[in-house]
Amino acid sequence: MDSRNPDIIGAPLDRTDGRLKVTGGVRYASEINVPNLVYGVIVNSTISAGSVAGMDTKAAEGSPGVLVVFTPFNMPKLPKQSSMGAGATPAAKKLALLQEPDVNYFLQPIGVVVADTLERATHAASLIKVTYDEKKPLTDLVAHLHEAFSPGQIGGSDKKPADSSENAPTAALHSAPRRVEQIYQTPIENHNPLEPHATIASWDGDRLTVFDATQGIFTTRQRLAGLFGLHDENVRVICHYVGGGFGSKGPVWAHTMLAAMCAKEVKRPVKIALTRAQMFNNTGSRAHTHQSFGVGADDSGKITGIVHDVTNNTSTFDEFPEQATVATRMLYACDSIQTTQRLVRLNLGTPSYMRAPGEAPGTFALECAMDELARELKMDPVELRLKNYAETDPEKKVPFSSKGLRECYQRAAEKFGWDKYKASPDPRSIRDGKWLVGYGMATATYPTNRSQSSASACINADGTALVLAGTQDLGTGTWTVMAQVSAGTLGLPMNKVRFELGDSVLPKTPVSGGSQTAASTGSAVQAACGAVLQKLIAMAVADASSPLHNADPKDVTAANGRLSLAGDPSKGESYAAILTRAGVPRLEVKSESAPDKEEKKKFSMHAFGAQFCEVRVHEDSGEIRIARWVGAFDIGKRLNEKTANSQIKGGVVFGIGMALMEKTVADDRDARLVNPNLAEYHIPVNADVPEIDVIFVDTEDAHINPLGVKGVGEIGIVGVPAAIANAVYHATGVRVRELPLTPDKLLVGAA
Ligand code: MOS
């Protein structure tokens, strides 16, 4: 492998952890061998509202191997500020830590049994008899819309007001000659990563070590330190591999805290691994969104007004606005836009971030409404989007740092063969025997996020390098792309660079959420590697014995473990030679990297994409098959062409699940979850997924971050459900505005 910088950063290399993963060599949090380990099993409520009146734990306590049984009646009390009320930010959830007997949702933790084996703990937990004072739960979002309240703000770190309104949007909408006003809904969904959540906690005096399946080792550290009143340094969180997170492992949840609380009491390491069912309601879900969407246009298709009012469920004790209006505020050029966000309290677990939170459900409404408006105008839907292409961000009123969306539309349309749609746009106009064929498209967008991060880089006298950053790889390829950024920046081949992550003793990094890891930690890794290389160059030019002595550092280039003069490559020497001669065993630099506040003010920073699909709907059964997928994306620079491509494909597959299958069902009568398992909560399997053709549009962006990356983890799902719903309309003439698009919704008869 050639090691010149541009060739390694971006190269479609195999994952550095790939072999270990497929040969079973990877150890996930719940698989770490910790001596003296005991097992915690959480007891979950069987009601959704009320309180625990009593728990008969005698049989459980006497059961073989049981060390302790905790209930709301004997759990050690936490200091008030660190118990449920800790939720200061949307990521810091209020948690059920057995501090009070209240029950707010089905499957809420109401007890923990710790025993010497998992089986004994599970059995003992089954012996506990619980009595409740039961209340009638709040179960249905739509039935309680009149009780909706404003959360005040939406968004994670980039807080926005819950409402936005400029230039009388309602009047603009209602005076528009062409308009669409409809209600769109997306259901509660659960993340279902392959690896269920798990934590092993162990104490050594007042030092706590935790192996956790998490998207944020430092967030976990912070919350645990807060819970026990410890300094951050006294809590160590380790997470080398994650089997998927999709947002569910972003916040810290009750089981992590409970494992640490139990371990403190029994004075032995405690593991709590959630079952699939326990993840439902307890590790966040995508909220049910009820979206009233209106868009008005003049006869030429120019949008004159948009009104988007979103209400989603939150729990009875915490608030989570699903920020479904954020894309509406920035995607199309229009100076009269109103958006509102409201919450309704239900007896369900607190919702949370799920892949493209906000954009995924929000663009279902926006991009279906755009399709409906195109129909109203008898206009090509791509044309309508180009007609309303935003050159500046309508909300922030600043230009985009770069925007390759026009090229995304054009290249995806061309590859897909959108001309076939244009030749036959009428519903039910294309068929293949019993299969009705339809084509649909939608726009994708996701903000480019970046947070402060840090990394350290070290060049050793043997010519190898070690690069460290806390961070975590939730399966996205962080191990690999950070090694690529390191090798590329250091001018070393991949096999001379070791990159390490997943431990809170390493340099501090942000949560892997909001598609920000490449931009944040990638920039920190690049900065550290660049700085240590400069240090090496400075050493060489100052060294009278070096062939580079007195050279201008700017004229020195680094490649393949060698520094040389740009104009005369024969003049140079290896990194090892420089350090060995100087008797320096290693050169090390630690760097911080933070977003540029001025650039953030001057530019709106987003990734963009265009999703095109062909669906086939069976005329008799309503079965929907996705036949073809083409997506083109402007995600800035790619750090690894292969893992970036995989991220998009994963996002599209996730979107197919969202469009056709996924729905967490709470019983209307008692708010008990009906399908907390993978037998009844359906996700796509290989047979549901067509070939996915991913096109990357090359954009240069000098403003977002030094690497020029926009983030790729979430944009792949955005627009997928709308593209499918639009294609299904084209195929059948039935407009489905409520996800998922199950066959029953198509059997109402064609328009
Ligand atoms: Mo992502 S849902 O912000 O982890």
pLDDT digits 0-9 by tens, 111-146: 999 999 999 999 999 999 999 999 999 999 999 999
Write down the residue that tokens 């009750």 correspond to.
Answer: 254
Atom of ligand 1 nearest to the CA of 247: 4
Q: How far is the CA of 414 from the centre of ligand 1 (A)?
A: 31
Strand ranges for 483-566 from DSSP E: 497-500, 556-559, 562-565
Q: How far is the CA of 520 from the centre of ligand 1 (A)?
A: 15
pLDDT digits 0-9 by tens, 359-393: 999 999 999 999 999 999 999 999 999 999 999 99
Q: Is the CB of 650 under 6 A from ligand 1?
A: no
What is the largest distance, in Å, between two alpha-carbon atoms of the chain?
86
Q: Is the CB of 244 under 6 A from ligand 1?
A: no
CA 577 to CA 562: how far, in whole Å? 9
pLDDT given at position 528: 98
Q: Is the CB of 214 under 6 A from ligand 1?
A: no
pLDDT digits 0-9 by tens, 460-473: 999 999 999 999 99
Are the CB atoms for 607 and 635 separated by under 8 Å?
Answer: yes
Report the residue among 448, 472, 714 best suited for mutation to probe ligand 1: largest number of ligand atoms under 8 A from its CB.
714
Atom of ligand 1 nearest to the CA of 356: 2
Asked about 100 being catalytic, the answer comes back as no
Nearest-CA residue for atom 4 of ligand 1 = 247
Q: Is the CB of 193 under 6 A from ligand 1?
A: no
Q: Is the CB of 651 under 6 A from ligand 1?
A: no
CA 359 to CA 286: how far, in whole Å? 12
DSSP 8-class letter at 75: S
Q: How far is the CA of 655 from the centre of ligand 1 (A)?
A: 14
Q: How far is the CA of 251 from the centre of ligand 1 (A)?
A: 10
Q: How far is the CA of 391 from the centre of ligand 1 (A)?
A: 27
Per the DSSP assignment, residues forming a β-bridge with 574 are 562
Q: Is the CB of 513 under 6 A from ligand 1?
A: yes
Are the CB atoms for 330 and 395 separated by under 8 Å?
Answer: yes
Q: Is the CB of 250 under 6 A from ligand 1?
A: yes
CA 358 to CA 287: how far, in whole Å? 10
Q: In Å, how far are 295, 299, 372, 373, 735 from 369, measured between CA atoms?
A: 7, 16, 5, 6, 11
**pLDDT higher than threshold 60 for residue 6:** no
Question: What token pair was written down for 606?
Answer: 């987003």
Atom of ligand 1 nearest to the CA of 474: 4
CA 614 to CA 61: how far, in whole Å? 59
Q: Which amino acid is at 617?
A: V
Mean pLDDT across the stretch 264-288?
98
Question: What token pair was written down for 374?
Answer: 């195109």
Q: In Å, how far are 157, 418, 605 from 383, measured between CA atoms?
A: 35, 12, 24
pLDDT digits 0-9 by tens, 708-722: 999 999 999 999 999
Q: How far is the CA of 249 from the centre of ligand 1 (A)?
A: 9
Q: Is the CB of 247 under 6 A from ligand 1?
A: yes
**3-state secondary structure labels for all residues of 288-307:** CEEEEEEEEECCCCCEEEEE
Buried b (16+ CB within 10 A) or exposed e, 44-64: bbebbbbbbeebebeebeebe
Structural domains of the chain ordered from first start? 18-26+451-594 (3.30.365.10), 32-136+194-244+249-279 (3.30.365.10), 146-188+285-449+601-750 (3.30.365.10)
Q: In Å, how far are 17, 43, 143, 358, 428 from 149, measured between CA atoms?
A: 47, 33, 14, 18, 42
Atom of ligand 1 nearest to the CA of 156: 3
Say whether 732 sits in a helix, a strand or coil: helix
Per-residue confidence band for 158, with pLDDT thresholds at 50, 70 and 90: confident
320 Cβ neighbours under 8 A, 6+ residues apart: 90, 287, 312, 314, 343, 350, 351, 352
Catalytic residue among 195, 614, 662, 714: 714
Q: How far is the CA of 711 from the centre of ligand 1 (A)?
A: 12
> How far is C-alpha 664 from the geometric centre of its chain's CA atoms?
19
pLDDT digits 0-9 by tens, 730-746: 999 999 999 999 999 99
pLDDT given at position 570: 93
pLDDT digits 0-9 by tens, 67-89: 999 999 999 998 765 544 444 45
CA 316 to CA 302: how far, in whole Å? 42
Report the residue among 323, 326, 353 best suited for mutation to probe ligand 1: largest number of ligand atoms under 8 A from its CB.
353
